[in-house]
Amino acid sequence: MQISGNTVFIPGATSGIGLALALALRDRGNTVVVGGRRTELLERIAAEHPGLGTVRIDTADPASIETAAEDVLARYPELDVLVAMAGIMRAEDWHRPEGFLETAEATVTTNVLGPIRLIAAFVEHLQTRPEATIMTVSSGLAFTPLKVTPTYNASKAAIHMLSESIRLQLADTAVRVVELEPPAVRTALMPGHEDNEHAMPLDEFVAEVMGLIESRPDAAEIQVERVKFLRYGEARGDYDQVVAALNAADPHNS
Ligand SMILES: NC(=O)c1ccc[n+]([C@@H]2O[C@H](COP(=O)([O-])OP(=O)(O)OC[C@H]3O[C@@H](n4cnc5c(N)ncnc54)[C@H](OP(=O)(O)O)[C@@H]3O)[C@@H](O)[C@H]2O)c1
């Protein structure tokens, strides 16, 4: 995607990577609409950043996705970028169902069904635009498992393969599918994660992402240097060592 001149909707941008990316894209001359469930944050964002649009959306709820999509497309008919950012990450204990089943179902609903339903709500509109982008958000954990978050890892692996697959199908359109693959980044995704010294500072991550979008607008995957350790273990042949190193480090290292 081009670095500027787009109209971008980012459901999952009331905090963290989504909000930082929204502000960076706004600063580079894009029209940006942020979405999320926490209305108090949406109100604060609208007050602090008058140029940003806001919309309440719960991506775990199909009806909310439909209503928000209608609202966004009515207000921003020139929308040409969808960033499916919303995600949750929770620890699980798979020794007994109480330790994981509820969390696993919630994680699949938000992290896998959410992006699928969002793409369903926007894909026809995006094909009416001269150029458009669907940005999915996976993780280094799509490629190397963190022991404490099995369903999260699996949800991000699903997003990776979904991105690879729909890119093939949409190759006959002007819609590009771009997968953002963050390493561990200091956000509130999990308790304590904002102070995780193994994680990348948020501003550094977003600055590197913006540089990559600018220098390689046609890239299918956005990979900052820090994610390559997790992303390419299997290709390098050191996968077992990468799994061991990841899981020996901070248990919240995403
Ligand atoms: N930080 C990392 O280390 C890391 C690494 C790899 C990938 N990622 C991915 O990056 C994305 C953003 O995470 P983050 O690190 O920036 O964490 P974050 O600060 O917790 O942000 C998560 C965002 O998702 C939104 N969200 C969650 N559930 C939602 C729902 N049902 N409906 C609508 N919005 C929802 C939250 O908004 P509301 O609560 O207001 O709804 C929030 O804006 C996630 O997909 C995450 O898996 C993060």
Distance 87 CA to ligand 1 centre (A): 4
Structural domains of the chain sorted by starting position, each given as residue range(s) with its CATH number in brackets: 7-253 (3.40.50.720)
pLDDT averaged over every residue in the chain: 97
Q: Which residues, at least 6 apart from 123, have a Cβ–Cβ distance to it below 8 Å?
A: 134, 170, 175
Distance 19 CA to ligand 1 centre (A): 10
Q: Please indicate whether residue 16, judged by its CB atom, sits closer than 6 Å to ligand 1.
A: yes
Q: Please indicate whether residue 150, judged by its CB atom, sits closer than 6 Å to ligand 1.
A: no
Q: Please indicate whether residue 13, judged by its CB atom, sits closer than 6 Å to ligand 1.
A: yes
Residues labelled catalytic: 152
Task: Report pTM.
Answer: 0.97
Q: How does strand 221-222 pair with strand 31-36? A: unpaired
Report whether pLDDT(126) > 90.
yes
Residue nearest to atom 7 of ligand 1 (CA): 139
* Nearest atom in ligand 1 to 196's CA: 3
pLDDT digits (tens, 9 = 90+) for 186-232: 999 999 899 999 899 999 999 999 999 999 999 999 999 999 999 99
pLDDT digits (tens, 9 = 90+) for 64-83: 999 999 999 999 999 999 99
Report whether pLDDT(252) > 60.
no
Q: Please indicate whether residue 38, judged by its CB atom, sits closer than 6 Å to ligand 1.
A: yes
Distance 214 CA to ligand 1 centre (A): 24
